[in-house]
Amino acid sequence: MIQQRQVCLDMGSTGFRGSHGQTRACLGLLLVLAIIAAWVTSRQFDYDPSVFKPAARGPGPQDQGTPPPGEGLFALGSGKVRAFGPGESFDAETLADKINGRADLYLTAGFKGLRFQRFSLENSRDDWMEVFDYHMSSPRQAFSVYARQRRRDVEPAGFKALSYRSGPAVFFVNGDHYVEVLSAVTSKEMIAAIDDVARRYVDTRPAEGLTLWELEALPRDLRVPGSESLQVSDAFGFGRLDQVFTARYDLEAEGVLAWVSFRENPEQAGELAGAWVAFLVENGGRRVPEPLGVPGARAVEILDTWDLVFHHGPVLAGVHEAASLQTARKLGRMLQESIIEAAR
C-alpha cells in the first residue's frame, strides 16, 4: 500500500499522466488512507479501561484491608512542620528494608504494616523528624513492642496513658498502633514540634484506651511512670515463665520490680510458683522460712537480693530482686491487695 501511495505522489510531482484507471485507483487509495488516519486519531481518546490498566502497586499495609485509621501521615503537617517528601509503606516482606536488624521483633509480635513519614520544621528544612507508625494485630501486641523497645532514660509524655519521652522523641500506644516520633535535633523548637505532631496523631485517630487486666492488677501507688513492661517469654531467665507483666516501684534507689502473669487455672499457677522457687534454689538461692505477712507467699534470697512469689487463683505474681526482705514484703502486700481489688 505504501508503494502504491508513493507511486501516486510521484505521478503528481513529475507531471506523468497515467491512464484514467490508474488515476482513479490512486485517488481512491488516498481517500482510504485519509479515512484510516482520521479513525486512529479519534480512537486515541477513547480506550477500554479493561484493556489498558495501570500497573499494580507492590504489596503494602494499605493493600491488606486493614489500613491505620484516619488520613495518611502526610496530613499530620501543621503550621510548625511540613511533610518532607512522600510517605512510605512497608509490609512483612519489606520491613527489614527500613529497619534492618529490628524487623524480627515486630514480625514475631503480630506486625501488620508500617507507615513512615518525614517532616521538617517550617522555618528550617535541614531540621527534620521521622514518624514510624507500626500497625500491630492487637492492642496487646502494640503494648508488647512498646515495652520491649522502651529506652532507659524516660519520662511520661503526658498525652496517653502508655506514652513516654526520651530526648527529642516520644513513643506511645494508640489502640493497635505503636508509634515513634523522633529526631536527632534537640532544640526546644523541635521538641515542641514533635509534641505537636504526636498530639495531632492521637486527636485525629481516636482509639479505645488500652485495657489489660494485668496492668490493672499491678499497684498504682508508687509505680514508676512509664516502667510497665511485658516479657513475652523466658521471664527472668526461666524458660517456663512467659507473658509476664512488670512494673517498677519507687521503694528503693533503683526501684524494685513487681510482676503478674495470668495462667490457665489456679492449679497451673500454684505449680508454676513452686517451679520458680525451685529454679531459684537450684541456681544458688536460699528459702526464707520466716513468716512474710503475705498469705501463701514464698521467698528466696539469691545474690543478696530477695524474690517473693505467690498466686491468687489463676494469677501468678511476685516481687523480683528486692534489695531487702522488708521491701519484698511491703511490695508483696501491695501487690496482693491490688490483685484482689482488680478481680472484684
Task: Tell me the pLDDT band of 3, cut-offs 50, 70 and 90.
Answer: very low
Task: Say which amino acid occupies 325.
Answer: L
User: Domain locations in the chain?
Assistant: 2-43, 61-204, 213-342
SS3 label, residue 322: strand
SS3 label, residue 133: strand
For the ranges 52-56, 139-143, 201-205, 285-289, the lowest mean pLDDT is seen at 52-56
Write the pLDDT tens digit of every residue in 130-159.
999 999 998 889 998 998 888 877 888 887
pLDDT at 21: 54
In contact, 316 and 273? CB cutoff 8 Å = yes
The model carries a pTM of 0.66
Give which of 201, 147, 204, 207 is closest to 176, Cα–Cα.
207
d(CA 88, CA 96): 13
Q: Write phi, then psi, for 9 (nearest 5 degrees).
A: -65, -40
Residue 182's CB: how many other CB atoms inside 10 A?
A: 16
Handedness of CA 190, 185, 128, 174 (dihedral sign): negative
Write the pLDDT tens digit of every residue in 182-195.
999 999 999 999 99
Cα R_g (the chain), whole angstroms: 34
SS3 label, residue 289: coil
Q: Which CATH class is domain 213-342?
A: alpha beta
**81-83 and 111-121: which strand pairing?**
antiparallel
Answer yes or no: CATH 1.10.10 is held by domain 61-204. no
